[in-house]
Amino acid sequence: MARKSKSTNEEDLPKAKLNLQNLKKSLRIFKYVGKHKWKFALGMLFLGGTAATALIFPKLMGNLMGVIGGTGSTKTDIDKNQLLEFANSTGLKLLLLFAFQAIFSFFRVVTFTNVTENMLASLRQAAYTKLIQMPMGFFSQRQVAELNSRIATDINQISDTFTTNIAEFLRQLIIIIGGITIICFMSWKMALIMLAIIPVIAIITLFFARYIRKLSRTVQDKIAESNVIVGESLQGIANVKSFTNESFEINRYNNKIMEIMRLAIKGGVIRGSFFSFIIFCLFGAIVFIVWRGIVMTVNDEISAKDMLSFLFYTVFVAASIGGIAEQLAAIQRAIGATERVMDIIDSTPETIDLAYTKGESNKRIKGDIEFNDVSFFYPSRPEFQVLKNVSFKVNKGETVALVGPSGSGKSTIASMVLRFYDPQSGAITIDGKNVNDFGLTELRDNMAIVPQDVLLFGGTIKENIAYGKPNASITEILEAAQKANALEFIESFPQQFETIVGERGIQLSGGQRQRIAIARALLKNPSILILDEATSSLDSESERLVQEALEKLMAGRTSIVIAHRLSTIRKADRIIVIEKGKVLESGTHEELMQQESGLYRSLSKLQMDLA
């Protein structure tokens, strides 16, 4: 089936309802303005200046155009000179008005941009600082794409709103209120006519336009879906032909094309109706107002220049009514975006010591680990108990392997040693001390993990190794790379340690990534080491090199090894067999192989038969 292509247009962002609770929550964003509050106040003054100059313009323009009505052939030369002088004076006032408006607009934009960027920098820092300190349970219930969207898309929406939309909304609101007030003083009769016609037409025009845009986006989404069908069928052409599904794919594509055609034709009818509405209603309304104004001018109910000023005010008010709804919609989207960002900032993080300084002088733990009757379930799946009364002990310097079927709870045990999660019952102790009594940063600084799927950051090899000890010297990095059997392949690259590894380390092979991860762990010099399927996806030669490096890494450290490939853990001091969240067996390889009906013996024989 074709996957629906989502539009990334900002208009697709969810809007928040405008109520007191949402507004109060969103107004908290102003605390990130900090010392730049005076700039915001200054920007508001410039905003008031742009709105005021906009309201003066129709009056002056009406006066200037009204000169034409006073230049008839019966006028004397003196009258004409006076009119010309008045026109020159008014024209000069308009030029000065435009100059002031240009100055006000420039400083308004510059000031609001300065305030907004400073505010958003503080907001981004606060959101990311909180996000990076959230516990693993938080991340297990959310997608990375969603969190990235909050930091990127939502904050960008806030940026656009603060830089442009709020200012435009307030400017147009001032123009609407000010313009209506002024025209009421000019002629309350004409004001009533205008208010009965223009706002209604402007609002209908707005909804028409929004519906057309929505329909256009739907058509684009359907076109994207049809392109997915083409891409999938051509990429999988061997499957299409082997299953003789050519007619199925043709029908699938034709159905989508017919759907696009129907929507596009409907869009044409709507657009045609919209243009007809504009021509007849909008222009008809303008003609009616002009006609009515002329009648009132002939009857001396309003002067010619006031009539012209009235028309200009009408145009300004109508344009602002049409535009203010769009600005309001953008503000609603920004309120929704602010709520989502504030949800992160309001979340409760782990107790991370950001002032903690890594180094050999820090207190080192010995590495005795004990699980006492530990039970656990993930918060997102409380109905499924992952660990059930698990108890075992790992002495300092021992290598203990955890084996068992997939889903038995092995990786969960490793996560709990790192305190990614805490047990619902029972206790975990390290060096006889409950893990909850350690500082999280202190505890994890004494541990390192080498996972099956190594994630390298998109910098250089040197930067990825130094991630284990950011202040390491180049000598220490070279030594760690050598012990990890990584120095040879690193030096084979033209740029050696400055080689860019690419996103997620894509430029390196699986074995090379594993050895970089081992070098990183060696550099950290942990007391407790966790190896999670570290060699399971490697070829024989890569596995040999990685296994040699792992043996150097494990020497003298407490090591917990999770393995499916049982041949790699025969030398472990102890093997703990886990099944369905319970400890089933425990002992050395030889001891477990002697148990006739033991699970370890069965798994080992099965792997030997498959080899």
Q: What pLDDT is recorded for position 361?
A: 46
CA distance 307 to 296: 9
Closest CA to 173 of 184, 165, 185, 161: 165
Tell me what the mean pLDDT of segment 499-506 comes to.
68
> Coil, strand or helix: which one is 309?
helix
Residue pair 446/527 in contact by the 8 Å Cβ criterion: yes
Q: Of 112 and 534, which is predicted with more confidence?
A: 112
How many CA within 13 A on the CB side of residue 289? Answer: 27
Give pLDDT tens digits for 266-294: 877 877 777 777 777 767 777 777 777 77
Q: What pLDDT is recorded for position 92?
A: 82
Average of per-residue pLDDT values in the chain: 76
pLDDT of residue 199 exceeding 80: no
CA distance 248 to 232: 13
Q: What pLDDT is recorded for position 6?
A: 39
- What are the sequence ranges of the domains in the chain? 9-186+338-350, 188-301, 365-443+569-611
> Coil, strand or helix: which one is 382?
coil
Q: What pLDDT is recorded for position 3?
A: 40
Q: What pLDDT is recorded for position 17?
A: 55
CA distance 560 to 530: 5
Give pLDDT tens digits for 337-355: 777 777 777 777 777 666 6
Residue 234 CB coordination number (10 Å):
10
Give the end-to-end CA distance of the chain in Å, rounded to a whole number.
39
pLDDT of residue 598 exceeding 80: no
pTM of the model: 0.67
Tell me what the mean pLDDT of segment 179-187 comes to.
78
Residue 605 CB coordination number (10 Å):
12
Q: What pLDDT is recorded for position 71?
A: 44
pLDDT of residue 1 exceeding 80: no
Q: Of 123 and 71, which is predicted with more confidence?
A: 123
Residue pair 566/607 in contact by the 8 Å Cβ criterion: yes
Give pLDDT tens digits for 81-126: 766 777 777 778 778 888 888 888 888 888 888 888 888 888 888 8
Q: What pLDDT is recorded for position 132?
A: 78
Q: What pLDDT is recorded for position 353?
A: 64
Confidence of residue 74 (pLDDT cuts 50, 70, 90): very low
Confidence of residue 468 (pLDDT cuts 50, 70, 90): confident
Q: What pLDDT is recorded for position 72?
A: 44
Confidence of residue 73 (pLDDT cuts 50, 70, 90): very low
Confidence of residue 2 (pLDDT cuts 50, 70, 90): very low
Q: What pLDDT is recorded for position 34?
A: 73
Share of the chain above pLDDT 90, in %: 0
Superfamily of domain 9-186+338-350: ABC transporter type 1, transmembrane domain (1.20.1560.10)
Contacts of 235 (CB under 8 A, 6+ apart): none
Query: Out of 47-51, 149-153, 171-175, 413-417, which region has the weakest mean confidence (pLDDT)?
Result: 149-153
Q: What are phi and psi of 447, to 5 degrees?
A: -130, 155
Give pLDDT tens digits for 387-444: 888 888 888 888 888 887 777 788 888 888 888 888 888 888 888 888 888 888 878 8
CA distance 441 to 604: 38
CA distances from 71 to 68, 81, 115, 240, 291 (A): 6, 10, 51, 82, 22
Q: Which CATH number fits domain 365-443+569-611: 3.80.30.20, 3.90.950.10, 3.40.50.300, 3.20.20.140?
A: 3.40.50.300
Residue pair 127/150 in contact by the 8 Å Cβ criterion: yes
Tell me what the mean pLDDT of segment 566-591 comes to.
79
